[in-house]
Every structure is written in structure tokens, then in C-alpha cells.
Amino acid sequence: MNSPSQLLNTHGYYCSTVHGYSMYPLLFDHKDSVYIEKAKEFKKYDVVLFKRKSGQLVLHRIVGFDGDTLLICGDNEFKIEKVKKEQVLGKMTEFSRKNKEYTVNNFWYKLYSKVWCFSFPTKRVLRKIYTVINRNKNNYG
């Protein structure tokens, strides 16, 4: 079986179902799929597949730059991680949900990306509010 790194190097792309909740609400665990293409250039808001020093593969969003270092964070996380460009295997160009495909050039996707990153400082508060509303809705609804 070929690894994502091998597939990206050989074919220039890699497709997979998402595992985990770090990119929620954009991507749903075991439900959505992503299409990753090999890339050398990156910009803010790109979702990239990178390899941590531990060897773990992670799909997170670029929220900024510090020189040649990418500042990366999952949409459902609060900790910014510093990643060297050499660690990045590729970037997401499409994703699918319920057999419907979306590209990263889609207007709604671009709007979501910018709003989500802009709201980063208030994400903890928004998440707490969402949790409280959901808990009350489940308890009283």
C-alpha cells in the first residue's frame, strides 16, 4: 500500500476520507473526503497536509506566516503550530460531502475560510456559546 507521500510524489495527488475533528465544522470525521495536490506555493487560508516530527499526518489551515515558517491551526483548535515548508506534503484543492464536491475556489468556501480565520481570537467564546446552547437545546428541547 502506498503512503500519502509516495502517492503525492508519484501521481501529484492524494485522496482520502478525513479522520478526526480538528477541521470541524468544515470537514466531518469519517464522512468527508479531501483531494490533496502536491504544491510548492502556499497562501493564507490554504488547508495543507503536513507531517509532524512524530510522523503523524495532519490536515490544518494556514493562518499566517513567520518568515518561511507556516503558522497552522485546525478550524476546531486554538493552538497555532509552526511548520516548515519542507514538512508540507500538499494542499487541499477539493473536498466532498454527501457525494457533492466543493473546490477551494468556491465563493462560499472562500468566505467561510476568511470569516473563520478572522474570528480566531473569539473562537473559544463562540465555541462555549455553541456548547451551552446545544446542551440547553438537548436538555429542554
The more confident residue out of 36 and 1 is 36
Give the pLDDT confidence score for residue 11 in this predicted structure.
84
Question: What is the pTM for the complete model shown?
Answer: 0.83
140, pLDDT greater than 60: no
Give the pLDDT confidence score for residue 6 in this predicted structure.
82
Domains identified in the chain, total number? 1
CATH code, domain carrying 19: 2.10.109.10
122, pLDDT greater than 70: yes
Helix (H) / strand (E) containing 29: none
Domain that holds residue 87: 4-140
pLDDT tens by residue, 51-105: 999 999 999 999 999 998 999 999 988 889 999 999 999 999 999 999 899 999 9
Neighbours of 73 (CB within 10 A): 19
Give the pLDDT confidence score for residue 138 in this predicted structure.
62
Sign, Cα dihedral of 22, 26, 29, 30:
negative
The distance between the two most distant Cα atoms of the chain, rounded to a whole number of Å, is: 54
Chain position carrying cell 480566531 = 120
Which residues partner with 59 through β-bridges? 49
Distance, in Å, from the CA atom of 82 to the CA atom of 94, rounded to the nearest integer, reads 24
Q: Which of 64, 73, 71, 70 is nearest to 22 (CA)?
A: 73
User: Exposed (0-12), middle (13-18) or buried (19+): which is 70, by Cβ within 10 Å?
Assistant: buried
Per-residue DSSP letter, 5? H
What percentage of the chain exceeds 70 in pLDDT? Answer: 92
pLDDT tens by residue, 14-25: 999 999 999 998
137, pLDDT greater than 70: no
Give the pLDDT confidence score for residue 101 in this predicted structure.
95
pLDDT, mean of residues 5-19: 87
